[in-house]
């Protein structure tokens, strides 16, 4: 069912998809409402109840007896749901795309609708002119091609053909005095009866008509529904995204799903669950130092005070209305406040939402709107930004200045919970615990959901890296700043800007190590690079503190062996490790600098062997760069990397299709990285699947070629991208040189020749830039997608502006 002012042309991709030989065996019926599309013009005003009756008349005339799946868009969603509620005996499933059944109280009606409903405006913009229709078509992203626009306009040439467009807008019930109010209420209030009906919600978040409040309302009424948000898509979702493919995939699963499935009993866990906060609770009477904040005048917090604060905030959150399962976004810099808030939320069963400020305001907005937290904790400036950006969640302030903004504060919550003796019952191991967002280096950041059991398994995996809880941890990498207390080790957070890893200096690192007698350091490659570059200013005290470090871990992006070697000058007793992992499963493998040296050169980055309890497999790439459906191939064969472990994420949040893609091999997570296992069982990472080049000479992964080019003395860093269609893509090298270039330019003849020789593969062009763009979270991962678009533009004659 289409909505207003479209017609069944909206579903042409769905009709085409189910007309293919490989399509699921479903018949598709796409209906034009009376007075809409190419249906008869009756000259009547047809309200919602009448539209539902009309649909029933059509299905009766067609002799449809089921099973039926309804698919609705815009106001076609309400009409299709009205039909579904009357025909439960025929109903097999429900699909909804950008629609609504209720306008939540306190939220304004859609702007486009309110403007069209202004006195005197309605007939002018909906009937006498095609303004409303053209405004709706303008919501498509990207812009609709002219033939498609003409297709939508075709049935509505002339005012006499557009009467129902105005009638549809007028029939939207914005108040209880409207004639269609009760019919819409009946639909909304009846949705709970569809709890056993499989439901799929497909959503375009860039919709000015049906927004987050409408999606939230639908999810509350249909909590069992699967959801996929197509980031970047908007109101005309079937035009913006592959709705047809999503529906077809969902129906395949529906056809193979028992009508009344009996859930299989889950296997007993191999290791008893130990909550993430267990180490903190066990040290509730310990007055030794648990946490030091070097950026906060060296503030020290004991284990006993930290646990007290956790209990007080947890009790205060509970007393203020935070319930188990509520999502709480935490926009607080690493430190005692964030640590206490995180563990307080986990202890009472609230789900923490962690969004890295490194995503930027636009990225944070996308992430927070997709996670849709009920509560948001932020420092004073963060509260102001949250208000200005309209981020969801009741505001809770942290740190100085928060109270002045009139927000409830962590301090106020602690005072509220100070006299509470008993906290709420602890959550269950398989309850949701956290939504952690990816870096966004290969597209919009994705929310990754972990249960309490999985977070605890991640903590246990970190022990396998050699962390010694008897000595301190220097947490210069944000994820480990939160896991330090869970590991039971005193932690120090250096004086640095957490959103800019490159601000960590050697002096700041040394002072943090001295503060907790640190023997372990966690830092990103970008942070280590600046530490090494600033090491010459260290005094004897600082050097002595760094000589006590015996374990150095650097993660977040590939770490060059040369960088690890340079860190040994500052930390001579440390064994550098570079674990491999990702937001979806961390850590996966581990390798030391000595092991990297022993492995020697290879086609990629050696990241070592899987940690205990972790399995790694390879799904081989074919000649088109497509990984096989099943893992398992000989050593040395390149393919997609698959991982199985107790600490693999539970699912992607609101990304049903993405989750299905990543977990289509039961028990395994498809990482989207490519690499190979050598004959000694070591994993070599060769890049991202999305960055694999398919040239006329075959499949090429970027990392190994980049490493060979970076071995040239005049090259600091290099990126290999493909320009042109798959199968005949041409290799382009984009490089930072030593000394650095002041502008983007074509490489000199001598440099281009040296690069081509080192690459050992045909290279079409060599470009030089002042700096390669990297992700803003780690400042380390090269943005190859951005560089590919830039190279395509340059080689098409678009000029040499820097990428």
Are residue 684 and residue 725 in the same domain, yes or no? no
Percent pLDDT > 90 in the chain is 77
Query: Both 641 and 696 in a single domain?
Result: no
**CATH of residue 117:** 3.40.50.1820
Q: Which helix (H) or strand (E) holds 753?
A: helix 749-759
Residue 502 domain-assigned (yes or no) = no
pLDDT at 391 over 60: yes
Q: pLDDT tens digit string along 474-504?
A: 998 877 778 889 999 999 999 998 767 889 9
- What lies within 8 Å, CB to CB, of 48 at 6+ separation is 75, 78, 79, 82, 171, 173, 180, 183, 184, 187
673-684 pLDDT, tens digit each: 999 999 999 999
Confidence grade of residue 264 (pLDDT, cut at 50, 70, 90): very low
Tell me if 698 is assigned to some domain. yes
pLDDT digits (tens, 9 = 90+) for 173-200: 988 899 999 999 999 999 999 999 999 9
The contacts found for 388-393 with CB under 8 angstroms, 24 or more apart, are 389/361, 389/364, 389/365, 391/329, 391/364, 391/365, 392/212, 392/368, 393/327, 393/328, 393/329, 393/368
Residues 635 and 708 in one domain: no
Query: Number of folded domains in the chain?
Result: 3
Residues 149 and 64 in one domain: yes
Least Cα distance to 205 among 624, 661, 654, 674 occurs for 654
Q: What is the DSSP string of 338-397?
A: HHHHHHHHHHHTPEEEE--GGGHHHHHHHHHHHH--SEEEEEHHHHHHHHHHT--SEEEE
Walk across the sheet containing 226-229 and list its strands: 68-73, 91-97, 199-203, 226-229
Supply the pLDDT for residue 524: 87
Q: What is the mean pLDDT of residues 589-593?
A: 95
447 preceded by a cis bond (ω within 30 of 0): no
759 lies in a domain?
Answer: yes
Instruction: State yes or no: pLDDT of 404 exceeds 80.
Output: no
CATH for 753: 3.30.300.30
Contacts of 246 (CB under 8 A, 6+ apart): 200, 202, 228, 656, 657
Of the candidates 596, 586, 539, the one whose C-alpha atom is nearest the C-alpha of residue 565 is 596
Residue 289: phi, psi to the nearest 5?
-70, 130
Q: How far is CA 45 from the centre of its chain?
A: 45
Structural domain for 50, as ranges: 8-247
Dump pLDDT digits (tens) for 62-80. Answer: 999 889 999 999 999 999 9
Q: Is residue 479 part of a domain?
A: no
Q: Are 46 and 182 found together in one domain?
A: yes
Average pLDDT over residues 575-601: 93
CATH of the domain at 635: 2.30.38.10
Task: Give the start-end residues of each E strand in 494-652.
Answer: 518-523, 551-554, 575-577, 580-582, 585-590, 605-610, 615-620, 639-644, 651-652
Looking at the fold, whether 696 and 686 belong to one and the same domain comes out as no
Q: Is residue 683 domain-shared with residue 696, that is, in the same domain?
A: no
Q: Which residue among 212, 227, 247 closes a domain?
A: 247
**Is there a contact between 271 and 460 (Cβ–Cβ < 8 Å)?**
yes
For the record, the structure tokens of 85 come out as 């509620």
Reduced to 3 states, what is the DSSP secondary structure of residue 685? Answer: strand
Give the Cα separation of 364 and 368 in Å (integer).
6
pTM attached to this predicted model: 0.92
- Cβ(802)–Cβ(783) below 8 Å: no
List the alpha helices (DSSP H) in 465-576: 478-487, 506-515, 525-533, 540-547, 561-570
pLDDT per position as a tens digit, 128-142: 999 999 999 999 999
pLDDT tens figures, 707-766: 999 999 999 999 999 999 999 999 999 999 999 888 999 999 999 999 999 999 999 999
Q: Decide if pLDDT at 262 tops 70.
A: no
Report how far residue 641's alpha carbon sits from residue 557's, in angstroms, rounded to the nearest whole number: 16
Same domain? 676 vs 734: no
The stretch 269-297 carries a mean pLDDT of 89
Asked if 678 and 778 sit in the same domain, the reply is: no
Gap between the Cα atoms of 45 and 126, Å rounded: 14
Residue 525 within any structural domain of the chain: no
Residue ending a domain, choose from 204, 230, 247: 247
CA separation for the pair 800, 783 (Å, rounded): 18
429 assigned to some structural domain: no
Encode pLDDT of 305-352 as tens digits. 999 999 999 999 999 999 999 999 999 988 999 999 999 999 999 999
Closest CA to 267 of 658, 666, 616, 589: 666
User: Are 685 and 703 within one domain?
Assistant: no
- On whether both 211 and 222 belong to a single domain, the answer is yes
Give me the phi and psi of 26, to 5 degrees please: -125, 140
Quick check: is 232 in a domain?
Answer: yes
Question: Is-contact 702 734, C-beta < 8 A?
Answer: no
pLDDT value at position 271? Answer: 61
Same domain, 94 and 231: yes
226, 247, 268 - which closes a domain: 247
List, in sequence order, every residue forming a beta bridge with 73; answer none if it has no partner. Answer: 97
* 527 domain-assigned: no
């Amino acid at each position: 069912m289409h909505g207003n002012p479209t017609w069944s042309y909206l579903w042409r991709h769905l009709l085409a998809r189910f007309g293919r030989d490989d399509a699921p065996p479903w018949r598709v019926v796409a209906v034009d409402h009376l007075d809409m599309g190419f249906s008869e013009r009756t000259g009547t005003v047809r309200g919602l109840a009448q539209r539902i009756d009309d649909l029933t008349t059509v299905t009766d005339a067609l002799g449809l007896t089921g099973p039926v799946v309804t698919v609705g868009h815009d106001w076609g969603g309400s009409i299709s749901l009205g039909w579904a509620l009357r025909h439960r005996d025929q109903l097999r499933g429900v699909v909804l795309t950008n629609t609504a059944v209720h306008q939540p109280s306190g939220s304004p009606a859609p702007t486009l609708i309110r403007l069209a409903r202004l006195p005197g405006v309605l007939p002018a913009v909906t009937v006498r002119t095609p303004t409303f229709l053209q405004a709706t078509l303008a919501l498509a992203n990207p812009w609709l091609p002219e033939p498609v626009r003409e297709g939508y306009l075709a049935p509505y040439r002339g005012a006499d053909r557009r009467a129902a467009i105005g009638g549809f807008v007028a029939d939207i019930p914005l108040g209880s005095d409207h004639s269609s109010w009760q019919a819409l209420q009946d639909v909304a209030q009846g949705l709970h009866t569809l709890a056993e009906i499989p439901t799929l919600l497909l959503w375009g978040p860039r919709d000015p008509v049906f927004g987050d409040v409408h999606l939230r309302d639908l999810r509350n009424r249909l909590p069992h529904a699967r959801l996929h948000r197509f980031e970047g898509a908007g109101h005309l979702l079937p035009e913006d995204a592959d709705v047809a493919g999503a529906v077809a995939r969902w129906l395949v699963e529906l056809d193979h799903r028992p009508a009344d499935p009996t859930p299989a009993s889950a296997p007993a866990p191999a290791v008893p669950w130990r909550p993430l906060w267990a180490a903190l609770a066990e040290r509730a009477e310990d007055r030794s130092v648990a946490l030091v904040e070097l950026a906060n005048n060296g503030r020290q917090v004991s284990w006993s005070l930290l646990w007290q604060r956790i209990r007080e905030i947890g009790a205060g959150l509970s007393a203020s209305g935070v319930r188990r399962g509520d999502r709480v976004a935490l926009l607080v810099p690493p430190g005692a406040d964030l640590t206490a808030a995180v563990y307080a939320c986990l202890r009472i069963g609230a789900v923490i939402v962690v969004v890295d400020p490194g995503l930027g305001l636009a990225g944070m907005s996308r992430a927070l709107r997709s996670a849709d937290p009920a509560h948001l904790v932020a420092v004073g400036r963060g509260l102001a930004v949250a208000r200005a950006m309209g981020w969801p969640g009741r505001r809770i302030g942290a740190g100085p200045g928060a109270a002045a903004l009139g927000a409830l504060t962590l301090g106020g919550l602690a005072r509220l919970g100070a006299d509470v003796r008993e906290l709420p019952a602890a959550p269950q191991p398989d309850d949701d615990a956290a939504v952690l967002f990816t870096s966004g280096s290969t597209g919009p950041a994705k929310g990754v959901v972990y249960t309490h059991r999985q977070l605890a398994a991640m903590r246990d995996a970190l022990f396998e890296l050699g962390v010694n809880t008897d000595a301190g941890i220097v947490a210069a990498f944000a994820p480990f700043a939160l896991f330090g207390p869970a590991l039971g080790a005193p932690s120090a957070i250096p004086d640095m800007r957490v959103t800019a890893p490159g601000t960590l200096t050697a002096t700041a690192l040394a002072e943090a190590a001295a503060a907790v007698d640190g023997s372990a350091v966690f830092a990103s490659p970008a942070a280590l690079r600046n530490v090494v570059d600033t090491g010459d200013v260290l005094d004897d005290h600082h050097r002595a503190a760094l000589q006590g470090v015996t374990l150095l871990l650097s993660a977040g992006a590939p770490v060059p062996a040369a960088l690890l070697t340079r860190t040994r000058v500052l930390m001579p007793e440390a064994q550098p490790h570079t674990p491999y992992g990702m937001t979806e499963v961390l850590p996966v493998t581990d390798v030391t600098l000595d092991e990297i040296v022993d492995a020697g050169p290879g086609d990629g980055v050696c990241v070592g062997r899987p940690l205990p309890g972790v399995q790694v497999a390879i799904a081989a790439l074919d000649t088109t760069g497509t990984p096989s459906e099943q893992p398992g191939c000989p050593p040395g064969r390149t393919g997609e990397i698959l991982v199985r472990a107790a600490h693999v994420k539970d699912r992607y949040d609101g990304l049903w299709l993405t989750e299905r893609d990543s977990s289509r091999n039961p028990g395994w997570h498809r990482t989207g990285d490519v690499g190979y296992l050598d004959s000694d069982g070591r994993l070599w990472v060769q890049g991202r699947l999305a960055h694999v080049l398919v040239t006329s000479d075959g499949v090429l992964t970027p990392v190994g070629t980049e490493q060979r080019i970076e071995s040239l003395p005049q090259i600091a860093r290099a990126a290999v991208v493909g320009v042109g269609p798959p199968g005949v893509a041409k290799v382009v090298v984009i490089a930072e040189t030593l000394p650095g270039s002041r502008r983007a330019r074509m490489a000199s003849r001598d440099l281009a020749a040296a690069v081509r020789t080192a690459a050992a593969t045909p290279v079409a062009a060599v470009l030089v830039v002042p700096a390669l763009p990297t992700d803003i979270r780690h400042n380390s991962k090269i943005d190859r997608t951005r560089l590919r678009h830039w190279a395509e533009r340059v080689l098409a004659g678009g000029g040499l502006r820097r990428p």
